[in-house]
Amino acid sequence: MIGYSFTEYIPEKDKRTPFERLLEIFLELMVHTSGDVDEALDWLRELDKEHKLTDENYTIDDFIADLFQKGYLQQPGDGQGEGSGGATLTGKTEQAIRKRSLDQVFGQLKKGAQGGHRTKQAGQGDEITGDRRPFEFGDGADQIDFTDSIRNAQVRGGVGEFSLHEKDLEIRETELKTAASTVLMIDISHSMILYGEDRITPAKKVAMALAEFIITRYPKDTLDIVVFGNDAWQIQIKDLPYLKVGPYHTNTVAGLQLAMDLLRRRKNNNKQIFMITDGKPSCLKVEGGYYKNSFGLDPEIVNKCLNLAAECRKVHIPITTFMIAEDPYLQRFVEEFTEANNGRAIYTGLSGLGEWIFSDYERNRRRKA
């Protein structure tokens, strides 16, 4: 009988440079501190004291100097400086944070070829499927497979004078590529950091990962980011690392209205709204101020939400609601909202949020509008 032989476990040596190891930690801290460089570096120094991240050959001060030299940090004005006070992130760092979020959330995905995504229908496009069909009125000359068409004419006519008839023509099928327009709504009401749970940081990471995924894999698609609290406003993708929760109620109506307005300007047939929220709608903007009700589900607020969900359904805009709360009465509202829109509701924890959003992004963008 052959037994087991145990040997000493030798962990794989980390081949990264000290700068690369510290950069990974720094980028993570930048998300948690909403882009506050000084706070992130203070945390990094504390982590260094506790976990001995550096040694006398490479210190935190060396790392900070490298951040400036390599273009990850800049001082206001000329972009140079030895200290970290008042330093801000560069576009290079913002992109690095998005790429890191993509690796964290969609780890197995790789950058693909640029272009659109495929539908299940064949049509006028730019990628050959290998299928053939007879010529039909309206087909373009660039779709004709002349090799097969000439062969058909020779088979039909036999030996003698060559002639090409319409019935000889064969068409190469191509896959129709579509473009999708997506609005991602993020709840930034105060409840997103209540009860000792940080919900806004995972939401930001998912948004950055989705943005980087679309930019690199589907550059013809569009992604707009809408945040909503008492009001709703659009932010740019580059602003995501700096996003913070405010002392807000939840004006879902304002978020949906802005999302619909943004999608109306898009010419793509495939349009969709993703909404990440953990709370009930509790606020409306009215003449002269706001109407707020944090107790239960207010019928006036709820009805306006349902009406907007139905409006989206009429113009073929599905809404996928990612509900990161488990209250039964809130789930009933989401179910009613989803039914009005004929959309989809997903009740998910923070750990599975990214996988669900990616899955639905691919699922909805292949639908026939």
Q: Residue type for 81, please?
A: G
Q: Tell me, what's the pLDDT at 141?
A: 77
Q: Tell me, what's the pLDDT at 84?
A: 56
Same domain, residue pair 267 and 279? yes
Judge whether 309 lies within some domain: yes
Judge whether 108 lies within some domain: no
Q: How many CA atoms lie within 13 A of 342 on its CB side?
A: 9
Distance of CA 348 to the CA centre of its chain: 17
Q: Tell me, what's the pLDDT at 165?
A: 81
Burial of residue 18 (number of CB atoms within 10 Å: 0-12, 13-18, 19+): middle
Same domain, residue pair 306 and 351? yes
Nearest Cα to 356, choosing from 219, 232, 201, 184? 184
Nearest Cα to 360, choosing from 238, 182, 188, 132? 182
pTM above 0.85, yes or no: no
DSSP state of 277: E
Strand-pair partners of 344? 320
Task: Give the residue from 158, 177, 196 where a domain finishes.
Answer: 177
List the pLDDT tens digit at each of the 369 positions of the chain: 566 677 776 767 778 899 999 999 999 999 999 999 999 999 999 999 999 999 999 999 999 999 999 999 998 764 444 455 689 999 999 999 999 988 887 664 433 333 333 333 333 444 444 567 787 776 777 778 888 888 888 887 776 777 888 888 888 766 555 688 999 999 999 988 877 778 888 889 888 988 898 888 888 899 999 999 999 999 999 999 999 999 999 999 999 999 999 999 998 888 999 998 887 899 999 998 999 998 888 999 999 999 999 999 999 999 988 887 777 878 888 899 999 999 988 877 666 777 777 777 767 766 654
3-class state of residue 341 by DSSP: helix
Domain count, the chain: 3
Same domain, residue pair 347 and 201? yes
Query: What crossing angle do the helices spanning 353-365 and 200-217 adopt, rounded to 10°?
Result: 40
Strand-pair partners of 292? 283
Q: Please state, in angstroms and rounded to a whole number, the distance separating the CA atoms of residues 288 and 29.
A: 40
Same domain, residue pair 234 and 279? yes
Judge whether 81 lies within some domain: yes
Nearest Cα to 145, choosing from 176, 126, 172, 175? 172
For 15, 118, 263, the CA distances from 12, given in Å and listed in that order, are 9, 41, 49
CB 184 within 8 A of CB 224: yes
Enumerate residues 6+ apart whose C-beta is below 8 A from 223. Answer: 182, 183, 184, 210, 211, 214, 237
Q: Tell me, what's the pLDDT at 115?
A: 36
Which residue intervals of the chain are DSSP H helices? 18-32, 37-51, 60-69, 91-105, 146-157, 200-217, 252-264, 299-314, 328-341, 353-365
Same domain, residue pair 128 and 268? no
Where residue 281 sits, what CATH number does that domain have? 3.40.50.410
Domain that holds residue 52: 18-89
Judge whether 4 lies within some domain: no
Pairing status of strand 232-235 against strand 222-228: antiparallel
For 136, 225, 269, 312, 365, the CA distances from 222, given in Å and listed in that order, are 34, 10, 12, 18, 11
Judge whether 94 lies within some domain: no
Same domain, residue pair 144 and 218? no
Same domain, residue pair 30 and 173? no
Same domain, residue pair 217 and 233? yes
Which residue intervals of 141-198 are DSSP H helices? 146-157
Q: Please state, in angstroms and rounded to a whole number, the distance separating the CA atoms of residues 182 and 274.
A: 7
Same domain, residue pair 218 and 257? yes
Q: Residue type for 60, please?
A: I
Judge whether 10 lies within some domain: no
Q: What are phi and psi of 202, to 5 degrees?
A: -60, -35
Q: Please state, in angstroms and rounded to a whole number, the distance separating the CA atoms of residues 254 and 7.
A: 63
Judge whether 102 lies within some domain: no
Judge whether 274 lies within some domain: yes
Pairing status of strand 270-277 against strand 180-187: parallel
Same domain, residue pair 204 and 351? yes
Q: Please state, in angstroms and rounded to a whole number, the distance separating the CA atoms of residues 274 and 344.
A: 10
Same domain, residue pair 216 and 255? yes
Structure tokens at 271: 């349009």
Q: Please state, in angstroms and rounded to a whole number, the distance separating the CA atoms of residues 103 and 101.
A: 5
Same domain, residue pair 193 and 339? yes
